[in-house]
């Protein structure tokens, strides 16, 4: 099993990585259910956002590169189904730090949405 | 050139370390996306993505502590431009001089056009080979020029 973690990753707390960019957040969410490869991440993001967010190759792998560098994700050599899969695909999974950062960002966004829902403008639009 | 070949060619725009690490995966992603998206839509999205992500990756590469920007390659590019420009100007000047002295001739025009095209193709091939790594950077144009000069000045 191959683990690549940035040497300085342990020195930072999850709060230091917030707020996450939309692309990074979507990738971390896609990896939240288990390890995945680039195309599967792209499809997952597309499905979760109802087709409104499409990560192209440059954006996806630029974010993956930063996430690997920050130690939020790791590369895995394990393949869910080696016989059916292309050996050139690389699989990624959340690291412990990545899971904590995802949880922290989810909490931050939840608090933000709760706060937005409490405003008069949103309460006025709620169905009776 | 096929769409895949063109995409592979455009990957050259990314910094070398990024390309070496993610180039194959990006190509694989393009192959996976191709059947599901129409070629027009895929290319519009790809070009938009390249326009945004290439400058971003170069900026990241430039500010990285262990940056590996191939300055030799950039110097090669500059030198190739100078050499190609000089050759083309030289052939053009000689062609114009010959035409002025001997009058316009289809044969002369053909010879000088061929020489100019051959010079351009030669320089571009050298540049492409240097950038693709088929020519070791120790044989780069600038270093070769320095070595040649040193040999003659001995």
Contact B29 A42 (CB under 8 A): yes
Mean pLDDT over B55-78 rounds to: 74
Give the Cα separation of A38 and A86 in Å (integer).
12
Task: Assign 3-class secondary structure to B107-145.
Answer: HHHHHHHHHHHHHHHHHHHHHHHHHCCCCCHHHCHHHHH
Q: Report pLDDT digits (tens) over B103-113.
A: 777 777 788 77
User: Closest-CA residue in chain A for B8?
Assistant: A57
Cα B55 from chain centroid (whole Å): 18
pLDDT at B43 over 80: yes
- Residue A62 distance to chain B (closest CA, Å): 7
Q: Which helix (H) or strand (E) holds A73?
A: strand A73-76
Q: What is the DSSP letter of A32?
A: G
User: Closest-CA residue in chain A for B22?
Assistant: A61
- Residue B7 distance to chain A (closest CA, Å): 11
Predicted pLDDT of residue A26 = 95
pLDDT band at A4 (very low <50, low <70, confident <90, very high): very low
pLDDT at A41 over 70: yes
Contact B53 A89 (CB under 8 A): no
pLDDT band at A1 (very low <50, low <70, confident <90, very high): very low
This model of the complex carries an ipTM of 0.79
pTM for the structure as a whole:
0.65
Q: Report pLDDT digits (tens) over B77-89.
A: 677 777 777 877 8
**Bridge partners, A92 (sequence order):** A36, A75
Between the alpha carbon of residue A121 and those of residues A48, A108, A115, A117, the distances in Å are 27, 21, 12, 8
Mutation target to probe the A interface, by most A beta carbons within 10 A, among B9, B14, B30, B32 is: B32
A23 touches chain B (CB under 8 A): no
Top-ranked range on mean pLDDT: pick from B57-61, B97-101, B120-124: B57-61
Tokens 């083309």 belong to residue = B88
């Amino acid at each position: 099993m191959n683990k690549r973690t940035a040497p300085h990753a342990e020195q930072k707390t999850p709060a230091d990585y917030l707020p996450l960019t939309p692309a990074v957040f979507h990738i971390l969410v896609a990896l939240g259910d288990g390890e995945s490869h680039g195309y599967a991440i792209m499809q997952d993001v597309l499905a979760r956002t109802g087709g409104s967010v499409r990560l192209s190759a440059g954006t996806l792998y630029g974010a993956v590169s930063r996430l690997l560098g920050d130690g939020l994700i790791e590369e895995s050599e394990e393949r869910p189904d080696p016989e059916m899969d292309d050996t050139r695909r690389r699989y990624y999974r959340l690291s412990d730090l990545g899971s904590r950062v995802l949880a922290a960002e989810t909490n931050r966004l939840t608090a933000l949405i709760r706060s937005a829902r409490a405003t008069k403008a949103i309460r006025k639009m709620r169905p009776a | 050139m096929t769409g895949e070949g063109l995409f592979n060619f455009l990957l050259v725009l990314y910094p070398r370390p990024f390309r070496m690490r993610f180039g194959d995966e990006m190509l694989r992603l393009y192959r996976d996306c191709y059947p599901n998206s129409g070629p027009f839509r895929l290319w519009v999205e790809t070009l938009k993505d390249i326009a945004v992500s290439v400058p971003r990756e170069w900026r990241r590469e430039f500010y990285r502590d262990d940056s590996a920007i191939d300055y030799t390659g950039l110097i090669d590019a500059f030198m190739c431009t100078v050499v190609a420009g000089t050759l083309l100007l030289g052939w053009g000047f000689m062609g114009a001089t010959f035409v002025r002295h001997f009058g316009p001739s289809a044969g002369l025009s053909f010879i000088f056009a061929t020489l100019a095209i051959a010079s351009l193709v030669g320089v571009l091939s050298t540049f492409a080979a240097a950038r693709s790594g088929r020519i070791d950077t120790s044989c780069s144009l600038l270093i070769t020029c320095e070595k040649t000069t040193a040999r003659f000045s001995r």
